[in-house]
A and B are shown apart, each in its own frame.
Chain A
């Protein structure tokens, strides 16, 4: 995928910023994507899953020092 091969300076990313980004992403990744069945938006049903896996990735990098722990997270 593609499309996001930006130069990454991840050490400037703080824990709180990563968390805000994960939250935003969990609510926006399926925008304009139809994941509906039986009248239910499956993307909303998956919110917990997506937040968990994004949080897990960020946490892994946090513990490896890739993400800076320079700011208290809110959650």
Chain B
């Protein structure tokens, strides 16, 4: 015994977000958590976990310093414009679009100044945290392509601090397609399943630094959940007596890092096909609006379209577990990871194909809008190995969960 204070616990930097949330409670047993996302810090504090927001280190001195550095770096961009100009011409083989052809210098330095400020602020806060002398044992992030998380990971990598990427979802990019999602920076990857491990290995990540852990977000789907009868009764008191099939349509959202076009037309065609299929099959249709689907008034539009078409159903942005449990089949707009969630709870799925992305497995079913009714009819009647499909994307499927413990063990081993 003695009066020595307890040794300081190591700090673990955590991005935040739903993917890391299942890990917090166990990680907080051994580490003090410092969150990149302030919302995550608030949530962790509400749970009584030893944690803080990185942003709490922000003050007037840091603000002034970051503003000055951003100006200096933006000035370097201005001075570098002739070289950038040459690269624009080179990249576009001499035929860039007008705003990249001669007008680039009018807007790019200002844009660069703006884009530099966010990462600089994070770096300044990280430097201030490091200056306290506390031991920063590691970093856990759900992605490392967005500016804030990439900055966090790059800073840790530069200091030899272990970085662990727990991807927020399997990515279904087709082989050979270039996309920022292959550009992971973290040293270690906790892969949900073989398909995810293959994806990152093919992208050039060292296979020895990819560990199969299962997906922590999937764990919750194996716990207590409503059965089909209960889910239907809760969602709509008339639904238990509904005689036809019950379909769920999952919407999606458009990404902005590529030249994907015509999202609106693609979404409209998928929705029209889904509505027509529901009507033709006499189905009850539940529209589950994607949480990133920011289209204004979209819930009302779906609801009004169902009324006009005479299709019974509901529209929600929430209650995912209940909606999935109530469904006979999921129709996803694009190769959605919701099809994995659905298969875990025993619901088969069909997705509407899009460009550049596809599951690498035979399941789920996939089709063009014009083929949807036939494929849905087939999928409702067929018996496939959906467990085998899930196992490709969640290696802990056979054990019905346990990915959280696997990732926590990985973090504790690497981040001491």
Contacts and interface: CB of A to CB of B under 8 A. Distances in A.
A52 B145 CA distance: 12
A74 B111 contact: no
A25 B180 contact: no
Interface in B88-123: 88-106, 111-112, 115-116, 119-120, 123
B73 A42 contact: yes
- How big is the B interface, by class? 35 or more
B72 to A, nearest CB: 9
Interface residues of A, number: 61
A3 interface: yes
Contacts of B104: 1, 4
Given A10-B98, A58-B259, A23 B85 contact: no
B101 A5 contact: yes
A69 B261 contact: yes
Interface in B134-190: 145-147, 150-151, 154-155, 158-159, 173-174, 176-180, 183, 185
Interface string B312-325: 00000000000000
B415 to A, nearest CB: 20
A2 B105 contact: yes
B123 A38 contact: yes
B174 to A, nearest CB: 7
A51 to B, nearest CB: 4
Interface string A11-25: 011010111111111
B237 interface: no
A21 B96 contact: yes
Interface in A45-64: 45-59, 61-63
B260 interface: yes
Contacts of A49: 111, 115, 147
B256 interface: yes
A46 to B, nearest CB: 5
Interface string B355-384: 110000000000000000000000000000
Interface of B: 69, 73, 76-77, 80-106, 111-112, 115-116, 119-120, 123-124, 126-127, 145-147, 150-151, 154-155, 158-159, 173-174, 176-180, 183, 185, 256-261, 355-356
Interface of A: 1-6, 8-10, 12-13, 15, 17-25, 28-35, 37-42, 44-59, 61-63, 66-67, 69, 72-75
